[in-house]
Homo-oligomer: A and B are copies of this chain.
Amino acid sequence: MRPSGRAPDQMRPVTIEPHFTRHAEGSVLIGFGDTRVLVTASIEERLPPWLRGKGEGWVTAEYGMLPRATHTRGSREAAKGKQSGRTQEIQRLIGRSLRAVTDLKLLGERQITLDCDVIQADGGTRTASISGAWVALRLAVNGLLKEGKLTVDPIRQKVAAVSCGIYKGDPVLDLDYDEDSNADADANFVLLENGHIAEAQATAEGATYDEESLLRLLRLARMGCTEIFRAQDKALSA
């Protein structure tokens, strides 16, 4: 039995509130249950120097956790003067996932930065970030198309992400904090709507796992992403 009473293949409610803030070219507040992440997409018409002159754009991400997003207060990375290895790993993953569905040549020489800031954490903050970031990116690119700055849509696919893991011996979908901190293995899958995989990561925590388990986790992730794609659609048509 899962601590939350959910079925093994049951997602937490996925909520996506678009246009949560005013200034960003795209913004959403995404929730996977009690996990809530504010994502903004910022368009800059200039690339940083090391990316200029290749005739293509760039999509990147930054990730942060408010100090009291968690059960006990963590220290503020700005005050400590550096981002943790975990933070850097997550923001690299988010950026990669969005670039996997973006045609950078079509985007043109501009940069879009996805800022993913965790307001409240209850497991799955990186996958919620990716899933929300795609909507924020979509909103920002819609603006560019509407303003005529782009004529061809550079976003090739929808992308969503979800965690799953082996908890007390059973594969389960969308780990919350209680499960995450006690899982034998946990995995994150970044999937496209056409079934393709952008990123698969499965890590043994308490126990190593076999190939069959890897496949069952992937199947759960497919079910989760179907729900997330639906929530993304709903948010965009709102």
Contacts and interface: CB of A to CB of B under 8 A. Distances in A.
Given A42-B73, A202-B200, A208-B196, A79 B68 contact: no
A100 B204 contact: yes
B204 A198 contact: yes
Contacts of A197: 202, 204, 208-211, 214
A230 interface: no
A34 B76 CA distance: 25
A200 B218 contact: no
A233 interface: no
A237 interface: no
Interface string A106-139: 0000000101010111000000000000000000
A66 B214 contact: no
A157 to B, nearest CB: 8
